[in-house]
Chains A and B, each alone.
Chain A
Amino acid sequence: MSQNIVVPTMAEMMSRGETPEVLFWVGCSGSFDDRAKKITKAFVKLLNKANVSFAVLGTEEGCTGDPAKRAGNEFAFQMQAMMNIQVLDGYEVKKIVTACPHCFNTLKNEYPDLGGKYEVVHHTEFLKSLLDQGKLSIEGGQFKGKRITFHDPCYLGRANKVYEAPRQLIEKLDAELVEMKRSRANGFCCGAGGAQLFKEPEHGDKEVHVERTEEALGTQPEIIAAGCPFCNTMLTDGVKFKEKESEVKVMDVAELIANAEDL
């Protein structure tokens, strides 16, 4: 996992007079969280492999404002949104891909009303389209026959009805996709959304992420696949809590594909 990755920024591209096809919105987790950075890199490797013309905003990117909005702080949210829209419009961005369903939802659904209108796709949808266009091929490799269960992120699934793309990608790995009882529209939250990731839970019998992890472990998986850096954190914590980290891995769909390709 050490070969170089190529990550052009919008500013660099602009100075070269180039316009990328798509902007990769990395997000705060993807930029700063140690676990999520690995997902970011895995996705970049796939973009490099498929020769996608993309760029990131780098230091010009700022939080979409999602956690502030869900916590009830419209001011902080709208300030972030307006600043980001200025930057995005300055680069005449048309299409955005992101590996974070929260950024995805906010950019896709809440920015247009504030003047930021872009085509926004989740990285699983984007990878699926690369596959369909023949720009990327997936071989089962090390995941052949492995039991993988997919956890639907609320802001990808219910919030935006993207259920199939991540599943189709997992199936391409020749893995055995096993479903939890509560999946797709009935998916059960990992416990992070609504700004819960940033605070202690209220008093109760159990933590939400433990409940969800137990359900995932109930499918006897070798891998729990996620499509969201927050879900990834919560489920990883859950697996540790259940002392199963030596048997069960929590991985992003992009990491699965990148690993299968030995990238």
Chain B
Amino acid sequence: MQYLGQVLFLLLLVAGFGFFIKNIKKLIRNIKLGRDIDRSDNPKARMRNMIRVALGQSKMGKRPIPAILHIFVYVGFIIINIEMLEIIIDGLFGTHRVFSFLGVGYDFLIGFFEVLAFLVIFGVVVFWIRRNVIKLKRLNQPEMEGWAKRDANNIIYIETILMCFFLIMNAADGYLQSIGHGHYFQAGSFPISGLISPLFEGMNPDTVALIERFCWWGHIIGVMLFMNYLYYSKHLHIFLAFPNTYYANLKPQGEFNNLESVKKEVALMMDPNADPFAAPAEPVGEPEKFGAQDVMDLNWVQLMNAYSCTECGRCTSSCPQNTTGKKLSPRKIMMSTRDRLEDVSKILDANAGQFVDDGKTLLNDYITPEELWACNTCNACVEECPIDISPLSIIMDMRRYLVMEQSAAPVELNNMMQNIENNAAPWQYNQMDRLNWKDEN
């Protein structure tokens, strides 16, 4: 019986990490459904970008209030997880506060964790108020109905509960230490939980010890559950923000890629010596689609972007089209891409890894042409995104599909493009008149 706790703990860890690894594998599989894109260049600049933007939160500063609150939660959450190490060792070996031999250093650490835990609670409470009471517009737009809203609140509740477990556990421990109960020897300092300890006065010490154990178990079980919740949540950004900024586009924002598949065809058309009947140099497989109709036509960075999106809506609140009441919302572009990717993932799971056409595509069933045609390609969303996501690149790839595969551009745009092809200007002017301005008055 003596080892029951330890065995249960081990099982919990195995299950927790087991499911987590399974989800990570699925995540990687899904991201790899995307087309290849080379982002291996310039590792130093990429590393710098990651450190600045993801670790250093450099793009959050534009909006100082959420930036500071987010720092509380972010730093608090990362640092308090150091405590997990002790919890795991204690749990596996049946020890209690195994790091307490660090003495003053330990006291300091625990005290520091407590302050951070308090700041985390403070941060998420304000976040909750901003979302649910003040109802900030950016956090309550149409695409945030339903699961997105519940998800955001779930994260807030889970974090609050976890931090409460941590503080109550310390409060009980501190109280038991002060009365010299059982194995609760003097260890740690409790600047925050010390304020709760007096509540235990007069209680049966065994009950207090039970509360301490309950919170200890509650904390670790909660952490394991939360870890496995990430895959389904916008909270995935706590990991993906890092690769996402590392593999971000480092070129000027105005530079859109030149489609390789088009380059070949244009070269052929421009080459006066090309033999139109010559056998193609490459083996003819399925010809590459121009642009993107579904998630598999996007590249893996764009798919990773979709999983990384924090649904913060900074992009949408800076989008000229969205802020003037149009349907286009760059955040929704990312959320729809993830939704579709998840649906594709479910199809793969159900069919032994094979994709079976479900009659749906990202285009039309998740993102409508009306949204796509509204975009100004102004890059406000890209500039704004705190983790360097480019909703614009997805919009562009889908426009390319609409135009080059379906010839489904709005009529006026078709006219414009025809003019360019016929007379090298978007309007119907003769190229021979291009210099007339010189002599006009």
The interface of chain A, by Cβ under 8 A from chain B, is 2, 5, 7, 9, 26, 28, 30-32, 37, 40-41, 56, 58-59, 61-63, 65, 67-80, 82-83, 105, 108-110, 113-114, 154-155, 158-161, 185-189, 191-196, 198-208, 210-212
The answer to whether B262 and A75 have CB atoms under 8 Å apart is yes
The interface of chain B, by Cβ under 8 A from chain A, is 62, 251-256, 258-259, 262-263, 265-267, 269-270, 290-291, 318, 320-321, 323-328, 370, 373-380, 382-383, 396, 399-404, 409-410, 412-413, 415-417, 420-421, 424-427, 429, 431-438, 440-441
The answer to whether A202 and B326 have CB atoms under 8 Å apart is yes
The answer to whether B413 and A76 have CB atoms under 8 Å apart is no
Question: Which of A58, A159, A187 lies in contact with B252, CB distance below 8 A?
Answer: A159
The answer to whether B378 and A203 have CB atoms under 8 Å apart is no
Question: Which of B324, B370, B415, B433 lies in contact with A206, CB distance below 8 A?
Answer: B324
Residues of B within 8 A of A187 (CB): 380
Cα-based distance from A30 to B426 in the complex (angstroms): 12
The answer to whether B253 and A159 have CB atoms under 8 Å apart is yes
Question: Which of B253, B374, B429 lies in contact with A202, CB distance below 8 A?
Answer: B374
Cα-based distance from A200 to B420 in the complex (angstroms): 19
Contact flag A194-B431 (CB < 8 Å), given A41-B437, A202-B328: no
The answer to whether B435 and A58 have CB atoms under 8 Å apart is yes
The answer to whether B373 and A202 have CB atoms under 8 Å apart is yes
A61's closest neighbor in chain B, by CB? Answer: B434
Across the A-B interface, give the 7 residue pairs with the lowest CB-CB distance, nearest first: A159-B254, A205-B325, A62-B424, A72-B399, A194-B377, A109-B255, A204-B325
The answer to whether A211 and B320 have CB atoms under 8 Å apart is yes
Give, as a whole number of angstroms, the nearest-CB distance from B224 to chain A: 41
The answer to whether B320 and A63 have CB atoms under 8 Å apart is no
The answer to whether B400 and A72 have CB atoms under 8 Å apart is yes
Give, as a whole number of angstroms, the nearest-CB distance from A133 to chain B: 26
Residues of B within 8 A of A212 (CB): 320
Question: Which of A70, A72, A82, A207 lies in contact with B402, CB distance below 8 A?
Answer: A72
Contact flag A202-B321 (CB < 8 Å), given A70-B377, A75-B404: yes
A41's closest neighbor in chain B, by CB? Answer: B437
Question: Which of B263, B320, B416 lies in contact with A71, CB distance below 8 A?
Answer: B416
A selection of 14 A-B contacts at a CB cut-off of 8 Å is: A32-B427, A32-B434, A67-B416, A71-B413, A71-B416, A74-B259, A78-B263, A109-B252, A159-B252, A186-B318, A195-B416, A198-B426, A199-B373, A204-B324
The answer to whether B435 and A188 have CB atoms under 8 Å apart is no
Question: Which of B324, B325, B421, B438 lies in contact with A76, CB distance below 8 A?
Answer: B421
The answer to whether A189 and B254 have CB atoms under 8 Å apart is no
Residues of A within 8 A of B416 (CB): 67-68, 71, 195, 198-199
The answer to whether B379 and A78 have CB atoms under 8 Å apart is no
The answer to whether A191 and B320 have CB atoms under 8 Å apart is yes
The answer to whether B325 and A206 have CB atoms under 8 Å apart is yes
Cα-based distance from A105 to B251 in the complex (angstroms): 12
Most-contacted residue by chain A among B265, B420, B436 (CB, 10 A)? B420
Question: Which of A30, A65, A72, A201 lies in contact with B291, CB distance below 8 A?
Answer: A72
A71's closest neighbor in chain B, by CB? Answer: B413
Residues of B within 8 A of A154 (CB): 254, 376-380
B372's closest neighbor in chain A, by CB? Answer: A72
The answer to whether B326 and A74 have CB atoms under 8 Å apart is no
A6's closest neighbor in chain B, by CB? Answer: B438
Cα-based distance from A77 to B401 in the complex (angstroms): 15
The answer to whether B320 and A76 have CB atoms under 8 Å apart is no
Cα-based distance from A206 to B325 in the complex (angstroms): 7
Contact flag A9-B262 (CB < 8 Å), given A72-B402, A74-B400: no
Cα-based distance from A201 to B416 in the complex (angstroms): 15
Contact flag A28-B320 (CB < 8 Å), given A65-B420, A74-B290, A189-B376: no
Cα-based distance from A34 to B265 in the complex (angstroms): 36
Residues of A within 8 A of B410 (CB): 199-200
Cα-based distance from A26 to B375 in the complex (angstroms): 26
A1's closest neighbor in chain B, by CB? Answer: B441
Cα-based distance from A61 to B425 in the complex (angstroms): 10
Residues of A within 8 A of B440 (CB): 37
Residues of A within 8 A of B374 (CB): 196, 201-202, 204
Residues of A within 8 A of B433 (CB): 31-32, 59
Contact flag A201-B400 (CB < 8 Å), given A63-B426, A114-B263, A189-B320: no
The answer to whether A82 and B396 have CB atoms under 8 Å apart is no
The answer to whether A31 and B437 have CB atoms under 8 Å apart is yes
Contact flag A193-B435 (CB < 8 Å), given A78-B262, A199-B413: no
Question: Which of A40, A76, A110, A202 lies in contact with B370, CB distance below 8 A?
Answer: A202
Question: Which of B251, B400, B431, B441 lies in contact with A109, CB distance below 8 A?
Answer: B251
Residues of A within 8 A of B252 (CB): 105, 108-109, 159-161
The answer to whether B266 and A78 have CB atoms under 8 Å apart is yes
Contact flag A68-B324 (CB < 8 Å), given A79-B266, A105-B254, A189-B378: no
Residues of A within 8 A of B424 (CB): 61-63, 80, 83
Most-contacted residue by chain B among A56, A80, A194, A198 (CB, 10 A)? A194
The answer to whether A193 and B378 have CB atoms under 8 Å apart is yes
Cα-based distance from A224 to B56 in the complex (angstroms): 37
Give, as a whole number of angstroms, the nearest-CB distance from B422 to chain A: 10
Residues of A within 8 A of B327 (CB): 202-204
Contact flag A71-B403 (CB < 8 Å), given A2-B441, A82-B270: yes
Cα-based distance from A199 to B376 in the complex (angstroms): 11
Known pairs A31-B425, A109-B251, A110-B258; list 17 more (Cβ under 8 Å).
A32-B429, A37-B437, A68-B416, A71-B403, A72-B403, A73-B400, A82-B266, A83-B270, A159-B253, A196-B376, A198-B413, A199-B413, A200-B410, A202-B373, A203-B326, A204-B374, A205-B324
